[in-house]
Amino acid sequence: MKFKQIIKDMSLVVIGNFILAAAVGIFILPYNILSGGVAGIAVELAPITNIPAEVWINILIIGLFIVGSLFLGRKFAFHTATSSFIYPLFLAYISSCHITTNIDPMLASLYGGLLAGIGVGCVFRTGASTGGMDVPPLVINKYTGIAVSKLVLAVDAITVTLGMFVFGLEPVLIGFISVWACSFALDKVLLFGAEDSKSVMIISNYYPEIIQAIHDKLDRGTTVLDGHGGFTGDDRQVILSVILKNQYPELTKLVSNIDSDAFMIVTEAYEVKGNGFSFDYKV
């Protein structure tokens, strides 16, 4: 790994852990929010065991770090070891500052979840973990390919639901706000920097003219796929192209002018890599 990339990754790990510690120290622990993650589990275990939530957080982080190291490899272990060391320090410092917000618990849950999602997302982008309950989603993602944000949402939802046996229904409902906010922010951070694009498939007898228009007017590439009509039995050519979202209105106009009967299938392209998108675009 290049030195510049190591510095970038380590910076993201430090920033992400500080943001996460701020979310937990300012919003989650002071309001006893069932947020999911190690903080949520610690809040649930503290009244049962009479062990402070901060201590439970450290115990869980160490245990999950060992699990993650076994399943996710050396790079994960290296970056997550940093998280496992600096996160408790950040949390202890922020907790010692006794920052009070005096806001409604639902707002604390919302903003705590959003900040936590941003912090965890920053760390995830380096291939590491904060060393908490995001380890199980990363392990499951490695073997199943299910989106990490969805797995985090599921694990946190289960964690919060279990809190019903200790705190009752209302804290659980408030905790779900934090779980949703965390998953939402995490998903946005993981997709940050990707081009906002659409994938378009076009079926038309005038496909050569449409291809030429896409090349000339939109300056986008195309791929021609061989298709076979299931109902008609005819062989058809299918145009596949990825365009920027703001080019979509112009594309529909171009296609309509050439063939008003053209069949178009449009889907969101959440991440596109290649010339004209994530790499330098050379005209």
Most confident of 57-61, 116-120, 188-192: 116-120
Q: Specify the pLDDT at position 282.
A: 40
How much of the chain, in percent, has pLDDT values that exceed 70? 92
Segment 192-241, tens digit of pLDDT: 765 568 889 999 999 999 999 999 988 888 999 988 888 778 888 899 99
- What's the pLDDT at 195? 58
Q: What is the pTM of this model?
A: 0.65
Which residue in the block uniquely carries the two structure tokens 């003219």?
A: 209
Let me know: does 181 contact 117? Beta carbons within 8 Å: yes
- Residues 187 and 182: their CA atoms lie apart, in Å, by 9
With contact defined as beta carbons under 8 Å apart, do 33 and 170 qualify? Answer: no
* Kind of pairing between the strands at 235-244 and 197-203: antiparallel
58, two tokens: 């450290």
CB 27 within 8 A of CB 112: yes
DSSP-H helix ranges across the chain: 3-23, 37-49, 53-96, 105-124, 135-144, 148-162, 164-167, 169-191, 207-213, 248-258
Q: What is the mean pLDDT of residues 25-43?
A: 83
With contact defined as beta carbons under 8 Å apart, do 18 and 119 qualify? yes
Could you tell me which of 205, 201, 197, 209 has the C-alpha nearest to residue 254? Answer: 209
Q: What is the pLDDT of residue 104?
A: 92
Q: Which of 9-23, 67-81, 149-163, 231-245 has the lowest mean pLDDT?
A: 67-81
For the chain, which domains are there?
A: 3-191 (no CATH), 197-269 (3.30.70.120)
pLDDT at residue number 257 = 92
